[in-house]
């Protein structure tokens, strides 16, 4: 049996030094780093061969972290978080306290609250949001299991979390965009 706490510690040490990790999320295998570190964020864009104009999402573990990044959170955001049975990413307006190169050109940021034990504990230790983007080269299929991740991605990260290598959820999260003027738009079901 893998030791989640040990893996959290190892991943945290790498992230703290500006490294990037390959890790299992509540949906698919992801590449992540400290969302407040622009150099680490840039490493992920380079590894994925992705334009910085294509923003990435961040994982958070609760209300306190959300309020640190967003001053105004629409009431409907809390309702969606409470009612969602599947992992759901919310795109919210006017993020702050994160790396500028993670913020979309329309001044929004996609976030997902995670309950999955590894991610939750890592976020607790980091006390900062964690970048989460699928573990693939931009434009290639999203890997469902660890065995589907390209060697280029595995070699390109600073640490591979040694937890379940089987298929995870296998399905990317639902994405909903919420604006401060109360508009709601489903981007991906």
Name residues of the chain where pLDDT drops below 70.
1-2, 164-171
Contact 177, 184 (CB under 8 A): yes
Model pLDDT, residue 42: 96
Angle at 113 between CA 19 and CA 59, to 5 degrees: 15
Summarised one tens digit per residue, pLDDT across range 64-96 is 999 999 999 999 999 999 988 888 899 999 999
Q: Which of the 8 DSSP states describes residue 61?
A: -
Residues 6+ apart with CB under 8 A from 25: 59, 114, 116, 119, 132, 168
Phi/psi of residue 170, nearest 5 degrees: 80, 0
């Amino acid at each position: 049996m893998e030791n989640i706490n040990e893996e959290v510690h190892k991943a945290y040490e790498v992230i703290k030094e500006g490294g990037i990790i390959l890790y299992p999320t509540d949906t698919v295998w992801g590449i992540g780093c400290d969302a407040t570190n622009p150099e680490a964020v840039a490493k992920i864009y380079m590894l994925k061969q992705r334009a910085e104009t294509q923003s990435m999402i961040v994982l958070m573990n609760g209300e306190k972290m959300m309020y640190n990044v967003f001053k105004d959170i629409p009431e409907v955001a809390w309702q969606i978080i409470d009612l969602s049975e599947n992992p759901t990413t919310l795109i919210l307006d006017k993020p702050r306290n994160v790396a500028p190169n993670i913020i979309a050109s329309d001044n929004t940021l996609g976030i997902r609250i995670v309950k999955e034990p590894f991610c939750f504990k890592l976020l607790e230790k980091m006390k900062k949001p964690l970048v989460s983007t699928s573990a693939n080269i931009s434009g290639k299929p999203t890997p469902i299991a660890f065995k589907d991740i390209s060697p280029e991605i595995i070699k390109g990260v600073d640490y591979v979390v040694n937890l379940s290598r089987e298929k995870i959820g296998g399905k990317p999260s639902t994405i909903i965009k919420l604006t401060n003027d109360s508009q709601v738009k489903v981007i991906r079901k």
